[in-house]
A and B are shown apart, each in its own frame.
Chain A
Amino acid sequence: MGSGGQRSVKRRAAGGGATTVAAAATSAASTSGGGTFSVSDFQKMSVDDQFDLVQKSIQGKAAGSYYTWDTDYQRFINNSGLDGAPNLVDDKTLDSMSGTETFRTTNENRAFPGKAIAVKTQTDDKLLYNAGGQEWYGKGLYSATSLGSSLAYGNNSRAAVMRFKVDDSKIVSTSVVDMWEFKESRDKNSLYHKLDNAGYAPNTRRAILTLSKGYTAIDNENGYLTILTRKGVNMSKSIKQKGVGNWSHLKDYK
């Protein structure tokens, strides 16, 4: 199931062309829900291969996991092989894990109650990474490192609260991403420059650039963390209702 993504990297290492890599990664995504193709594999690819994978992925369709807001980033993450369900663990195990703890609250929307969206975040191989609003920090799955900040934006008891832990080595600060953008915008051989030339929006370029450096999340330096892919991220099996207190005080969503 997961070997498709790994094979694609081996082929590239053995001299496989960009088309082979992109096709293999895309194939892994479509047949095995993301496979084992990871941000580290994406990072190891040549700039040309990375750009080729981006182009091919964006030509595909966005996944209609729960409702589709069709953007370049949504199509890229769904079709590149970089999306996939997180590593689900119970709270006790999550407590013992290292990394940055972060919380995501989701309200019910036109299509689904909050809990259904949370379940899809836990289990769907492909997921919606942006909603139909304005995003100050670009595309991605937003979460808050403070439970209180996360709960504040939940409308009512039908809001669902999720808990994650992201490996610190996979989180990069937004100021570092700013520096990459500054440097790569002046290097015509860089992925960022190629994405810019191809006409992709700044938010999309920023998210893809960060993934290409081997990172899965951006620390927005204001208490919010943007998760760019759930793959490799640890997530609690529990889904809670909006309430008062710490995580253990919140009621399980039934």
Chain B
Amino acid sequence: MTITKDDVKYVANLARLTLDESSIDMFADQMAKIIDYVDTLNQIDTTGVAPMANAVSLNNAFREDNNTPHLDREKTLANAPDKEDGFFIVPKVIG
């Protein structure tokens, strides 16, 4: 499979990554090789095989709907790069 520079840029944008030109070339080349290898999966007939999402088939893990202690606000904000008055601060969202 050919992975073009535009393919890499498109996926990078979805993943909120910006890449310089040399990285785009490198990733396009490496992804093409890895995806070619992954395409060997098409040698297997999987008609009617159920997909496996998890190793243990647990049903929903329910619990009683009780109040339990949680991190307080100060601790929740302890690692925030920017905060004010008990809130996370982010750069301007629109415009």
* A, B in one complex: no
Chain A interface (Cβ within 8 Å of chain B)?
none
